[in-house]
């Protein structure tokens, strides 16, 4: 168990920003965290490590001999996996795997929120996107 902070300790902690450290100079990281609403910085670092591993594996596959049958088979399997997870838009080329970044893991989660037809939030979003039809929302 952790003890309760004293008054002066609480006041000092209010002035500290735990996300944006001056030493790290991580402005891009903070932008991505806010854009995709990632709550934990550790999640972003995991996404970064995974994307780095994907790029390294793509480079190793690319370094294989072009006439090798294993290269064609592993390329097809690798691209199929990345496409099924949603990290790349098409299965055409191995160069797409080289462009995978940490934000690619967050992109697919953006549009999974759905609203009831009578929801005020849905009406507001549709007004903003200029897609609102009064007949459909009168229910």
Q: Determine the pLDDT at residue 136.
A: 66
State which residues of the chain have pLDDT below 50: 110
DSSP annotation of 78 reads H
Residue 96 lies in a domain: yes
Distance CA 20, CA 26 (A): 7
Neighbours of 38 (CB within 10 A): 19
Q: Determine the pLDDT at residue 19.
A: 64
139 and 90, same domain (yes or no): no
pTM of this prediction exceeds 0.75: no
Q: Determine the pLDDT at residue 34.
A: 85
24 and 89, same domain (yes or no): yes
Residue 1 lies in a domain: no
Q: How far is CA 36 from CA 19, 44, 132, in A?
A: 15, 10, 25
Domain, as residue range, for 134: 110-139
Q: Determine the pLDDT at residue 80.
A: 95
Distance CA 95, CA 7 (A): 55
């Amino acid at each position: 168990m952790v003890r309760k902070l004293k008054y002066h300790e609480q006041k000092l902690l209010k002035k500290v920003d735990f996300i944006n450290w001056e030493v790290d100079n991580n402005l891009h990281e903070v932008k991505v965290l806010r854009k995709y609403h990632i709550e934990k910085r550790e999640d972003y670092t995991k996404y970064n490590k995974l994307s780095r591993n994907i790029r390294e594996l793509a480079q190793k596959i690319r370094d294989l001999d072009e006439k090798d049958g294993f290269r064609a088979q592993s390329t097809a399997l690798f691209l199929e996996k990345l496409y099924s997870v949603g990290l790349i838009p098409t299965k055409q080329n191995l160069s797409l795997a080289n462009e995978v970044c940490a934000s690619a893991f967050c992109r697919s989660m953006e549009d999974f929120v759905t609203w009831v037809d009578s929801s005020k939030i849905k009406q507001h979003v549709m007004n903003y996107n200029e897609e609102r039809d009064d007949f459909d929302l009168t229910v």
